[in-house]
Amino acid sequence: MRRFENKRILIGVTGGIAAYKVCDLIRMLYNEGASEVVTMMTPSAKGFIAPLTLETLSKSFVYQNNDENTVDGIPAHIALAQDMDVLVIVPASANTIAKMAHGMADNIVTTTAITFTDKPIVIVPAMNTRMWDNPLVQKNLRVLKSLENISIVPPEIGDLACGEFGEGKLASLDTIMLYIYQAIHPQRRLYRDKRVVVTAGGTREPIDSVRCITNRSSGKMGVAIADELFAMGADVLLLHTLPGLDRPYRIIRLETVEELARYTKRNFKEADGLVMAAAVSDFQLAKSQKSKTPGKIKKSDTFTLDLVKTEDILSQIGPKKKEHQFVVGFAAEYNHVLMHAREKLERKELDMIVANDISRSDIGFGSDFNEVTILFRDKERFDLPKAEKYIIARQLLVHLYQKFLAKREEEPEGEEEALESHTSE
């Protein structure tokens, strides 16, 4: 099952140079399982992209005019609001944003937006940086943000079509896709107001300026968890080792265990939870063998590395967590998977551990799929069958919420005995 399986998505295109990127967005939505992608255009949008292009890619009629368009005798703007699951306005010009903020409805896009009062709308602005910084534009955005069903995708900072540099560039397609996913997510408010640190990828311990000690972790599981948390409303910080990752939440890229430990401890202090999905190197070069001068060790018949253990981050964080915080670990094992996972859960004083068998080539490292067992300290366990990693991520986060956060949020402050009775059930 893909993220947009059986979803019907409506795209409103307004006048802007970034309109051509809608073509790739349509393809991505269909690749992610959307059952239908329908487009509509403002009059000025047709100056940037041809309706025939959108019709060909979307495999659907392109709505262009308020007066002429009907669906089975029903005005198009009403029928579309009835039938579609989410409205995405991309690119959203300053003009369209102003009209929506003031309830104006003078074209098919703005008229349809007015009828989407009980369904999600994702607005993706793109404009010159001077326009974006204009207090009037920002005021209009604040009006739209105040509405429960509307989300705004922040533009990027970069080179603009006009030749200037600044904020106003259309967000990346990956970011837009994640905001759309958040808008239709069945648990989009589950982690609202929760700050969660997630780690992902395999760390790298340098041998010299060229070589390093690492592992085969792709980081896909950790990124899937961060994406799901974002879609569930959390304030996410992802600490990762992956190049070229583009996401709308906060990201810190690092390489070594030392860096990972420093950033994890620092940010966990103010967080509600930690999901430690990174594959942390167990060994690093001994200080006596580390060279302070850059270079490459020359090839020889034999060469010995003097290795020492790296810092055990979870062993330091688990026992010190506050009452309201949760800590989740991962156990990637080749044999006796559950036994080793249970031992790690208890020794590091984790709230939950996710165990997976890395001896299988069809799941785990490098794969888009996983199959895991969730273990809790009270001996409760859940087996999650093989599925795409984003589905595994969603399931484990739902179990985590039901086990800890839901019960804690239901308890009045100060009733510690009641809390203990709930957590022991």
Catalytic residue set: 162
How many whole angstroms separate alpha carbon 251 and alpha carbon 395?
23
C-alpha distances in Å from residue 11, one per residue of 89, 151, 275 = 6, 14, 35
Is the dihedral angle over the CA atoms 156, 159, 165, 170 positive or is it negative? negative
Do strands 250-253 and 235-240 pair parallel, antiparallel, or not at all (unpaired)? parallel
Is the dihedral angle over the CA atoms 146, 149, 178, 369 positive or is it negative? positive
- Name every residue whose Cβ is closer than 8 Å to that of residue 414 and which is 6 or more positions away in sequence: none
C-alpha distances in Å from residue 367, one per residue of 26, 273, 355, 385, 390 = 26, 26, 16, 15, 12
Question: 126 near 155, Cβ under 8 Å?
Answer: yes
Extract long-range pairs of 71-74: CB within 8 Å, 24+ residues apart.
Answer: none
How many whole angstroms separate alpha carbon 206 and alpha carbon 296?
11
Phi (first) and psi of residue 226, to 5 degrees = -60, -40
How many whole angstroms separate alpha carbon 248 and alpha carbon 251?
9
Buried b vs exposed e over 144-175: b needs ≥16 C-beta within 10 Å?
beeeeebbbbebbeeebeeeeebbbbbbebeb
Concatenate the DSSP letters of all residues of 77-137 into one string.
HHHHHHH-SEEEEEEE-HHHHHHHHTT---SHHHHHHHH-TTS-EEEEE---HHHHH-HHH
Residue owning tokens 């809390």:
419
Count other C-beta atoms under 10 Å from residue 336's C-beta.
10
